[in-house]
Structure 1
Amino acid sequence: MSAASGAEAHFRAEFGTEPAGRWAAPGRVNLIGEHTDYNEGFVLPFALPQRTVAAAGPAPAGEWTVCSTFAPGAVSFGTTSPGEVTGWAAYVAGVVWALREAGLEVPGARIALDSEVPVGSGLSSSAALESSVLTALIDLGGLDVPLEQRPALAQRAENVYVGAPTGIMDQSASIRCQAGRALFLDCRSYEVKQIPFDLAAAGLAILVINSNAPHQHVDGEYGARRKSCEEAARILGVPALRDVPFDGLDEALARLDDEVMRRRVRHVVTEDQRVLDTVALLEQGRTREVGSVLTAGHASMRDDFEITVPQVDVAVEAALAAGAYGARMTGGGFGGCVLALIDADRADATTSAVEQAYAKAGFKAPTCWIATAGPGATRL
């Protein structure tokens, strides 16, 4: 059963009536640009076909009830403040709170959720949930919220209400991506550019390898990386690490006394440059050459930002040994997924190579599939 059918059926079973509509928002793969978003830099995600779907209908003013196929029971709440609703339902309550904080009259609603986005895989299941609910509430209430302003509302729900210090990339991808395009996002200005990303026309594909080593964003490691970056920017006297020029990196690093902080800065500054390089290659139709940029990005995440784990490193190495043009971890790190740029007819061979490497290392088997660039949040 698709997530759309699952959400609708769950709504019917829980609330005994038909929903007013169904709203879907996708997970995302970040092609390049990891941990650059909260440093006000550049990212290049694309939306996955896998989506979270919110089947929703009206409820009395000031009342919200949410249920999902991935957790038992329903959660009801009224007007709340950050921390009052916990667990998975906090993401829904956070969206309601963020809309209200923006001065909008949020309609009461009953919502049933189903999802095809793997949880804890680094494919941004939380942003897909937030974005589907946000889109549903905006439509149900007839709220005037321009598309370009919606990601910041969803991000605020996750940052302030849930307490996860994520940047704005995930919500932007889930809301603003287009089918067949990668989203070049400036995380300072929120300006976007849709970059052609038709791999099939070039005989290529992106293989997503779920390492099945789940990561958690609400933890000390992610927050520590962000704090280190912000402290480095303060020491260097710039608003954010985005303002450290690539050709001035060595000079900036020489001004930092802490070796760990130097590595963090080197990753962010070089990663921003890798995003710009990738965009240029895609616009020139030199798609295969993107592979080496992806691989360099993985090495930077592994050695300078120190956010990979053995499962993702083994997946990258096995994919490259099987002939991938490039491979890298995608997402916040400490588990999650790897993406590999491959010839379209090499999916089975690459998958087999990774599975064999996992078996040899004694890891739980990975899950692999081909990812194509899908659309952002929409009413179905």
Structure 2
Amino acid sequence: MKFNKVLEGIQTYEAGKPIELVVREFGIAPENVVKLASNENPIGTSPKVAEVIRANADKAHLYPDDSMFELKAALSGKFDVGDENIIIGAGSDQVLEFISRALLDEKSSVLMSAVTFAMYEIYAKQMGAKIVRTASWEHRYDEFMEAYHMHKPKIIYICTPNNPTGDATSREEVLEIIEEVGNDTLIVVDGAYMEYASAKDDKYAITPKELLGYENVIYLGTFSKAYGLGGMRVGYGIAQPELIKALYKMRPPFNISTLSLAAAIEAAKDEAFVAKSIALHQEQIKRYEDFAKEHGFEYIDSYTNFITYLFGDTLDSTEVSDALLRRGVIIRNLASYGMNGVRITIGTAAQNDVLFKHFSEVIS
């Protein structure tokens, strides 16, 4: 069977290893496995959301409200935007897929930083588009502008805070890029971790409403991180109505489940849970910074719910990751991104105790 030629240049996205894999391969009891690889919320899901999921379990045979009226109303109230400005996706990465399908072809190019979310490249390559990367993993204005003027990309991706590095681009710098770019290029501002950045320093806080003044900008958000709904797969895009209408032509019917919709509606209301999640993160990430300093390796100042350690010539990220995996601790090796480092989700105090114990033993 012959497949589309564009598939030859696409690498399959490598998700974080599941707990079940460690249980099968190493015979470790599930309760003794600590998963800190996929940036899930370590305290789980809001109890109010869990109750709503249970209450709606008997509706699993029914399709959801495809207008998603209540969820859009909740997001409209949260961000002070209109229903017509919102599209819902099965995770924000589905909105990324809609964007690529709506805009790209084999004559197009897309621009992104040297190290960023892998799905930008994968969706672009599915459409035959060319990938252009800056030299740095940071979103540097001069590098983006040089590449923009040289290649005239159809899409520019600004992931802030950035995954998998954890750094953030200031609101001022993002707006500088937006102001410089012409309307023929779409700018995607991916704010999957924006709740963490906003809580740490409002210099990095970007709201969807302030981006609605630009016809060529879309803001992406998700319920997978601070809201604790990674397993429910709900994300959203916010942009001017003309762009949203175009993306709706890419959207299949009922693209999130009945239970996911109910969960997201309730999650959007429970800001107290989000505040609790962020407070835990701000408390525990200091331990990770101290651990790096104590053991003499670098870390990237994080504006997300994870931290990136850079080993330089001192350690090998693959050896460290594999050794921890055999001990039942799952972290993310960044070797596939061309970095000798690891990305670790900031866990609960108990999870972090286990991580630091094994980490210390491994590197000694």
TM-score band, normalised by the shorter chain?
under 0.3
Identify, as 1 or 2, the structure richer in strand.
Answer: 1
The TM-score normalised by the length of structure 2 is 0.27
The TM-score normalised by the length of structure 1 is 0.26
